[in-house]
Amino acid sequence: MHYLLIFFMLLAERKSVEVHFTEIAPSIDGFIEETWQDADSAYDFVQFMPYEKTAPTERTAVYVLQDENNLYIAFRCYADSIKPIACLTADEDDIRIGIDSFGSKNTAYYFQIYASGIYHDGWILDDGRTYDDSWEGVWYRALKMYDDRWEIEIKIPFKSIRYKKGLDEWGVTFARYMAQNREISLWNEFAQREDVLVSKYGSLKSMNPQVTGYYFELYPEAYLRIDREFYYDNSIRTDTTKTKPSVSLNLKWDVTPQTTINATILPDFAQIESDPFSLNLSQYPTYLDERRPFFLEGQEIFRMGDFGDWGFFDPLEIFYSRRIGKSVNDEAVPILGGLKVTNKSKNWNIGILGAYTDTYLDTIAHRIDEPNRWFGIFRAKRAIFENSDIGMLFSGMAVDGDEYNYAFGLDGAYRKGASQFIIQGALSNKKDSVHDNFGWAFDAGYFGFIKNFITFASARVIQDSFDVSAVGFVPWVGETKFLFMTGPYKQYQKGSVRTFWVAPGVVVTQEPGVSDWSVTGIVEINTQFRNDWGFDIGINAGRHHEAPYHPYEDTVVSYFLRELNSSFWGRLFNQHIDFGFNYSYGWNYMSGHLGYQGENRLSYTYSIIPQIRLGLASNIWIEWDPDHHIEAIWPIFRPSIDVAFNAEMNLRIFDEIVTRTPSTDFGELEYRWNRIGALFSWNFMPKSWLYIALNDHRTQDEYGDLQPLYQIGAIKAKYLLYF
C-alpha cells in the first residue's frame, strides 16, 4: 500500500496541458487575441534558478492550440516589478520550449526566443545533458512589448518536425529567463542537481497532427569565390587569382513523419568561417567541430553517448564527419555527392549515410594527394528502460580493395535521474600500402551522486593496433586509463553560494610503449555562486611515464607530473566573461623536451549600444626549457566587432593575431600569423541565407616578414523551396 501511494504521488507530479483544436488560426503578430481564449494554459511556474523550487518573481502563462497542420504556442510574460531587457548584443530576457514529440523521455526539440527577436533551435540529447544546435527548422514567431508584460506567439508546422505518428501525448516543458535578476522559472519542477531532464517533462495531451502528403525542401546554393593565392618557389613569389563559381543542390524529403531522406550534389563546403588557431603542445591532434549543413542535420543519430560538458570522459568517436572532404593544404577535398536516410521513432533511431569524394590535385607539386574515396555509415539505437538506450555503429572508408578503413562499435547508456553509466566497445580494420591492422577498443564511464557524494569514474583501453584515423577520432592508440573521483556535494538554499563540491581521486595510466603505470592524484574544487559567477580548480600530481618519440622505441621518460588548472566565469556589465589558466610540468611535444608549460585565456564581449558589441578572445601560451628558463611566449589575440542590424541581419569583423616572443625579449616579437575577416549574414527567410565573406590571411616568411598566403572574397546564397 505504501509503494502504491508513492506511485500515485509521482503520477500527480507530472503536469499536463490539453491541446485544443481550433478552426481559426491565430495571427502570429505578438498579440494574444481572442482565439487563444479557447486554449488550455500552463501557468503555475516554479523557480529553478537561483532559488530552487520557490515561487517565481513574475507570473507567466502559456497557451497551446493546434489545427490540422500546425502547433501554436503563446507566452504571456508579466512584468509588474521587473521590466524585461531586450538587447541584440547583450544578455536579455528569453523564453524556451522543449518538445519530446516521440515520447522518448530522452530526446527533444528546443525552441528559444529572445526579447530582441533573436531565436535559436536544435536538439536536446542524452536526457537533457547535451544541447545540439545542428537542427534548423522552419517555424514562425512574433513578439511585442507592453507596459506590464511581453507576449510571444509561435507557429510550428507539423511537417517541419518529426514525431511518432498516432502518439497523442508529447513531452513538453516551458521556461522563462529574466536577465535583470538572472532568474529561470519552469512550468515543471526540476532539481538543480539533476538539471532539466527530458524524462521529467510534463505532457501535451490530445495531440493530433493531420498533415497529409509529403514534405520537401529543395535547397539550391550559389557560391562565387575569388581566391588570390601566393606561394614561393626558390624565393620567387607567385601570385595567382582564381574565380570559382559553383552551384549545388540539397534535398530533404520527409517520406513519413518519422523518416527523412537528405541528399547533396556537388556541395561547396568552402569554409567562410575558418577554424581558429590553436597552439597544440600535446601528442594528440586538435578536434574540430562540424559546420557543414549536410553533416549537421541528423548528426544526433550518428553519435555515441556522452556526459555533456563534464570533460572526464572521451567517447569512442569511430565516425568523425570531418574525415569526409577533409582539409589538405588548407583546401577542402571536394565532395561529389552524399545521401542520408534517417528514421526516428519512440524506441528506434536508425541512420544510413553515404558520400563520395573527388580526387584532390596539388597544383604546386603536380600530383594527386587524395584519391576518390567512398564513405559509408550505419547507425541503429534502441531505447530501453524508459530513457536509456543501446546501439551499434558501423563506419567505413574505401578507395579500392587495397586501401580501406572499417570500424564497428556497440554502445549503451543507462540513465536514472542525475546519474548516467555509459559503456562502449569497438573493432577496427585498416589496410593501406604500409599497414594492415585489426584492433579493438573499450570505453566506459559513470557520473552521478551516491547519496551526497558526487562521483566520476571512467575506464579506457585502446589496443595498439586499433586505427580509425580515416573515419573517426580516437587518437589515444595504445593507451590504458582509469579514473575515479568522489567527494561531498553541498547545495545551499539560501546565501551567496548555490553549490559547492570537492572531489579527490586518482588517475592510473599506461602510455603506449611503456611497461610502467603512471599514478597521479587529482582533486577538483567547484563553486557556483547565486549571481551566476563560479570557479573550478583542478590539481593533478604524481609519477608519470611516457614514450614521447614513438610507441615502439625504447626511450621512456619518467618524471613527476604536476598540473594546476582553473576556470572562472560570470557576468560583467551584463555580458558573459570567461577566464582561466593551466600550468603543468610535462613533455613539450612541439619543442621535444621536458619543461613547464602554461596557458592563460580570456573571453569577453561588451555591448556599447544595443546594436554594437566589442569582443576580445585571447590566449597566451608560455613554454619553459629544461633549465626552467622561459623559452617562448605565444600571445594570441582575437579582437572583434559585431553589428546586429536586427535579429536576422549581422556583420562580424575580426582579426586573429598570432605572435611569438623568444624568451622574454619582447623587442624580438615575431608576427607569425594574421587573419582579418568580415562576414555579413542575412537570414531573409526560414533556412534561407545570404553570406558575404572577406578574408585576408598572412603568415611569416623565412625572413620574418608577414607575407600574403591567400585573400578570399565570397558570396554565398542559400534559398529554401519549401512545400
Q: What is d(CA 328, CA 278) in angstroms, rounded to the nearest whole number?
A: 18
At CA 136, angle to CA 131 and CA 139, rounded to 5? 115
The per-residue pLDDT for 1 is 40
CB atoms within 10 A of CB 297: 18
Q: What is d(CA 164, CA 345) in angstroms, rounded to the nearest whole number?
A: 6
**Are 435 and 441 within 8 A, CB to CB?**
no
Residue with cell 524585461: 84
**Are 60 and 94 within 8 A, CB to CB?**
no
The per-residue pLDDT for 394 is 97
> What global pTM score does this model have?
0.87
- CB under 8 A, 24+ apart: contacts of 490-498: 490/452, 491/52, 491/192, 491/193, 493/51, 493/52, 494/51, 495/530, 496/529, 496/530, 496/531, 497/527, 497/528, 497/529, 497/530, 498/50, 498/192, 498/528, 498/529, 498/530
Cβ partners under 8 Å of residue 694, min gap 6: 677, 678, 679, 712, 713, 714
Q: Can you name the residues that pair with 98 across neighbouring β-strands?
A: 110, 173
At CA 196, angle to CA 460 and CA 16, rounded to 5? 135
The proportion of the chain whose per-residue pLDDT surpasses 70, expressed as a percent, equals 93
Number of continuous H segments (helices) and E segments (strands) in the chain: 2, 44
**Are 565 and 537 within 8 A, CB to CB?**
yes
- Cα-to-chain-centroid distance, residue 457: 23
Half-sphere exposure for 331 (CA within 13 Å, toward CB):
17
Domain ranges of the chain: 15-205, 282-338+347-456
Q: What is d(CA 319, CA 408) in angstroms, rounded to the nearest whole number?
A: 10
CB atoms within 10 A of CB 354: 17
Which of 174-178, 275-279, 357-361, 666-670 has the weakest average pLDDT? 275-279
Q: What is d(CA 455, CA 164) in angstroms, rounded to the nearest whole number?
A: 36
Q: What is d(CA 255, CA 215) in angstroms, rounded to the nearest whole number?
A: 7
Q: What is the pLDDT of residues 26-74, one digit of tens each?
A: 999 999 999 999 999 999 999 999 999 999 999 999 999 999 999 999 9
The per-residue pLDDT for 685 is 87
The per-residue pLDDT for 554 is 65
CB atoms within 10 A of CB 608: 11
Cβ partners under 8 Å of residue 313, min gap 6: 306, 307, 422, 443, 445, 447, 458
- CA distances from residue 462 to 437, 442, 443 in whole angstroms, order as listed: 13, 6, 8
The proportion of the chain whose per-residue pLDDT surpasses 90, expressed as a percent, equals 62
Which of 89-103, 459-473, 586-600 has the weakest average pLDDT? 586-600
Q: Is the dihedral of CA 327, 328, 334, 339 positive or negative?
A: negative
Write out the three cell numbers for 106.
Answer: 530522452
Tell me: pLDDT of 12 over 60.
no
Among residues 212, 254, 406, 213, the alpha carbon closest in space to that of 341 is found at: 254
More confident residue, 604 or 247: 604
Q: What is the pLDDT of residues 164-189, one digit of tens each?
A: 888 999 999 999 999 999 999 999 99
Q: What is the CA radius of gyration of the chain?
A: 27
Q: What is d(CA 288, CA 292) in angstroms, rounded to the nearest whole number?
A: 12
Which three-class secondary structure state does DSSP give residue 243?
strand
More confident residue, 274 or 401: 401
The per-residue pLDDT for 270 is 54
φ, ψ of residue 303 to 5 degrees: the values are -140, 150
**Are 654 and 695 within 8 A, CB to CB?**
no
Q: What is the DSSP string of 539-557?
A: EEEEEEEE--S-TTSS--E
CATH 2.60.40.1190 fits 15-205, yes or no: yes
The per-residue pLDDT for 517 is 96
Q: What is the pLDDT of residues 680-701, one digit of tens each?
A: 999 998 888 888 888 888 888 7
The per-residue pLDDT for 381 is 95
Among residues 80, 117, 119, the alpha carbon closest in space to that of 96 is found at: 119
**Are 187 and 200 within 8 A, CB to CB?**
no
Among residues 705, 710, 709, the alpha carbon closest in space to that of 671 is found at: 705
Q: What is the pLDDT of residues 250-275, one digit of tens each?
A: 888 888 888 889 999 888 655 555 66
Which three-class secondary structure state does DSSP give residue 313?
coil
Half-sphere exposure for 672 (CA within 13 Å, toward CB):
14
Q: What is d(CA 434, CA 467) in angstroms, rounded to the nearest whole number?
A: 13
Tell me: pLDDT of 363 over 90.
no
Among residues 344, 403, 404, 430, the alpha carbon closest in space to that of 379 is found at: 344
Among residues 303, 299, 306, 302, the alpha carbon closest in space to that of 126 is found at: 306
* Burial environment of residue 721 by CB neighbours within 10 A (0 to 12, 13 to 18, 19 or more): exposed
Determine the straight-line distance between the first and last CA of the chain, rounded to whole angstroms. 55
